[in-house]
Amino acid sequence: MLNDGIHAMVDYEKMSPAAKKLRDFYAIKPDAGIIQTEFGYYCLDAWKSQGHITDSTNLGELFMYEDTGWAGLHGLGWCEAGFEPCFTEEVIEDRGDYELVRDFAGRHVLYFKARRNGFMPEYVEHPVKDMKTWEENCKWRMNPDSPERYANLEKDMQWRITRANEGCVVQQGLVGGYMYLRSLIGPEDLLYKFYDEPELIHDCMKTWFELADKVISEHQKYVTLDEIFFAEDICYKSGSLISPDMMREFLLPYYQQIIDNLKSRQIDKSRHLFVQIDTDGFCYPVIDVYKEIGMDHMSPFEVASDCDVVEIGKKYPDLRIRGGIDKRILAAGKEAIDKMIDRIMPVMKKRGGYIPTCDHGVPEEVDFNDYMYYRKRMQEFKD
């Protein structure tokens, strides 16, 4: 058996340092070194205007981040459907200080004029209103046989093959069913469609499944997958946006079939497939539901929605956990940062299976020097 990370797992001692550290995370190895990384940023423009960083600043070096050991695979959407082609973006209406724009996902979005980032946009209209608009506007954009989807596949896969040879975790990402449906229909109208037009929902999900299954099967011709990562965002501050029964009817059967098909095609059939779910909000009510399809990794545990990674780590000792650093505390000064770190990090390092990141993008309210203080404190848990 060729231990190349594709036909069989690379021997641990031959893995790259990044791969070893990430594999220790997945093994929930007690007291293993903590991977140094971040979720993302909303603060960079503010820090540039304050003179702390420039466009040429290497943030990885500045903030003491590491190679995380992942090799991501994409092409199946993230917060929106995996359209090919996407909608043509255009300004539909000038409203003075605002402009109504059709975005790449076909939504009509109200933005500040000539500004697209750094605030929550207002979604005015979504492309799917019924079966007719689904078929006319969107369904054809999810053709799994569209040659444009695979135009650079062989070239793109070479880096993933190299990473697999190092023992890194090859991760297939895709938009989760709820987030996908929400991007098509809109969060409010979607709730009515579950009841009033279930055949539309199932047709949308069948199309989602057929696209994901085909694209993933093409990726699997080159590598063995270690993880499938559903970007879901199915929760809000107080719990799940749809009921467990709805999840079991409209989402989980398609997820399970994707997982089953993926496993059956693996080059290394002995490889455990990790299942990750990403959702903002208060995620506790959905953890056991997602465990029904084998979920064993979750993120990002939003603290403003009362998620506590220490509590979750104790209740679910077999759950890999990423996130859980309170963005509000990062903006509250060094004393508050110390208190948070001292409560979370010693416990979670001893437990294992934890990667700390901000529970969403670092907001612009965070002082640069306080963030640097946080990053230096986190180095205490690196090894």
For the stretch 273-303, pLDDT in tens is 999 999 999 999 999 999 999 999 999 999 9
Extract the tokens encoding 175: 């938009």
Q: Band of the pLDDT at 113, cuts 50, 70, 90?
A: confident
Q: Which amino acid, one-letter code, is at 138?
A: C
What single string gives the DSSP state of each residue in 249-281?
HHTHHHHHHHHHHHHHH-SSTTS--EEEEEE-S
Does position 1 have pLDDT exceeding 80, yes or no?
Answer: no
Contact assessment for residue 295 and residue 327, using Cβ atoms and an 8 Å cutoff: no
Q: Band of the pLDDT at 116, cuts 50, 70, 90?
A: confident
Which residue spans within 250-296 are E strands per DSSP? Answer: 274-279
Q: Strands 274-279 and 70-73: what pairing?
A: unpaired
Does position 118 have pLDDT exceeding 70, yes or no?
Answer: no
Give 239's strand partners: 236
Extract the tokens encoding 355: 């990667």
Q: Provide the Cα torsion 84, 86, 88, 93; round to 10°.
A: 160
- Please give the model's pTM, rounded to 2 decimal places: 0.95
Centroid of chain to Cα 215 = 18
* Phi-psi group of 252: left, alpha or beta (phi > 0 → left; psi -120 to 50 → alpha; rest → beta): alpha
CB atoms within 10 A of CB 241: 19
Distance, in Å, from the CA atom of 357 to the CA atom of 41, rounded to the nearest integer, reads 11
